[in-house]
Amino acid sequence: MSGHAKLAPSAAHRWLTCPGSVALIADIPNTSSAYAEEGTKAHTYAAWLLNGAKPPVPPADEEMISYVSVYTGAVRRAAEGKLLMVEAPIDISMWTGEDGGKGTADAVIVGSDYIEIHDLKYGMGHIVNAEHNEQLMVYALGALDLVETLVGEVKEIKLVIHQPRRDHLSEWTISRQDLLKFGHIVQETAQYALICNAGDGLYPSDKACLWCPAKATCPALRMEVEAAVFQDFEKMSPSGPYPTPNILGLVETWLTAVRQAIFEKLQAFEPVPGWKLVKGREGNRKWKDEAEVEDLLKSLRVTKGDSHSLSLKSPAQLEKAGLSTKKWAQVAEHITRSEAKPVMVEESDPRPAIEQATVEEFDLIG
């Protein structure tokens, strides 16, 4: 992981292709997500396995154990008889010029005259390829400085990306000479990125903007979308020509980011003209404890034909099974459902807006 570095390896594609994004996101707080937390958990478990340690707390489910084991098994096979560094701290400050610039490579394997950089992508999202992958190439530059003090000059570097949940493995080898050419590009671009003023050096693209925290408010992206809508889209007809994948990707990325930004403002009870939050649908009904319901149905002498198909019927199915009102009332006490989540709608929607709870209301709840 790269902490809060401005020029983090994990964001290398963004700041290398859009150096102005570094200044644009400077004041945006770092946030996490359930997906990021799941990825961190998978990486922590993988590190324990590769280090031969017993994890103090196992992953929450067998699925993670299975998928992470695919990755760790492949790394172990590749590292047999070689030096393996797990969660290796990589100093990249020489290349980025950022004080304390660093990253953490998931696994580095050191051979006699080569190194391998292995990276685990645990998510189910986009397929990621190793060829010309900027994140791994930046790791490789930092690893080169470290490894060559141990084994002498390295001739080539293999980059490997593991995506076990997508059944995807990507490998690519680059020579030391070509990696150093890339390093010079990193140095030049990083120098510009660190001195760039907000609003300068912005070059939107579907890939660079995808994970950028500032995409909802980026002026360059907004202008790119406006140009696409008023130029490319107005030329469309039922038979084409259609916008390119890059243009569609940019528009989709911007629209999604703007909707999310509006939603977050509404959640914080900040007014946004034309929008409001209302309660959505509650989750589907389900049994709190199926075993307890089955015992209750037996005591009420409800036949298996009424209460089961191959397994216990759902609340919706059982409600239609013809139970008496009295029996159904007892069974219904065992139903639960998730709360309705807020939904963003137009201000003209007839549903009442969700209002912020007052201090008095919290006192009543207590």
Q: Which domains does the chain have, with CATH numbers?
A: 9-195 (3.90.320), 206-265 (no CATH), 273-281+340-365 (no CATH), 286-336 (no CATH)
Task: Quote the CA–CA distance of 319 and 285 in Å, as a whole number.
Answer: 11
Q: What are the backbone dihedrals phi and psi of residue 338, each rounded to the nearest 5 degrees, phi first?
A: -70, 150
Is it the case that residue 289 has pLDDT exceeding 50?
Answer: yes
CB burial of residue 172 (10 Å; 0-12, 13-18, 19+): middle
At 319, list the tokens. 């409600």
Mean pLDDT of 212-226: 90
**From 119-133, 209-223, 246-260, 293-307, the region with the lowest mean pLDDT:** 246-260
Task: Quote the CA–CA distance of 269 and 267 in Å, as a whole number.
Answer: 5
pLDDT tens-digit map of 292-319: 999 999 999 998 888 888 789 999 889 9
pLDDT at 361: 44
pLDDT at 198: 82
pLDDT at 83: 95
Ramachandran assignment for 167, one of left (phi > 0), alpha (psi -120 to 50 degrees), beta (any other)? left
Task: Quote the CA–CA distance of 139 and 102 in Å, as a whole number.
Answer: 9
Mean pLDDT of 204-209: 88
CB atoms within 10 A of CB 121: 21
pLDDT at 90: 95
Q: Which three-class secondary structure state does DSSP give residue 236?
A: coil
Q: What percent of the chain has pLDDT over 90?
A: 55
CB burial of residue 128 (10 Å; 0-12, 13-18, 19+): middle
Burial 219-253 (b: 16+ CB within 10 A, else e): ebbeebbeebeeebeeeeeeeeeebeeebebbbeb
Task: Quote the CA–CA distance of 17 and 61 in Å, as a whole number.
Answer: 38
Under the banding of pLDDT at 50, 70 and 90, the label for residue 366 is very low
At 35, list the tokens. 């997906």
Q: Which residue has the tokens 């992958």?
A: 133
Is it the case that residue 241 has pLDDT exceeding 70?
Answer: no
pLDDT at 235: 62
Task: Quote the CA–CA distance of 317 and 67 in Å, as a whole number.
Answer: 36
Cα pseudo-dihedral 196, 198, 199, 200, rounded to 10: 0
At 366, list the tokens. 């207590």
What DSSP state is assigned to residue 102? E
pLDDT tens-digit map of 47-74: 999 998 877 777 768 899 999 999 999 9
Is it the case that residue 11 has pLDDT exceeding 60?
Answer: yes
Is it the case that residue 9 has pLDDT exceeding 80?
Answer: yes
Tell me the whole-structure pTM to 2 decimals.
Answer: 0.71
CB burial of residue 118 (10 Å; 0-12, 13-18, 19+): buried
CA-based nearest residue to 23, from 182, 212, 187:
212
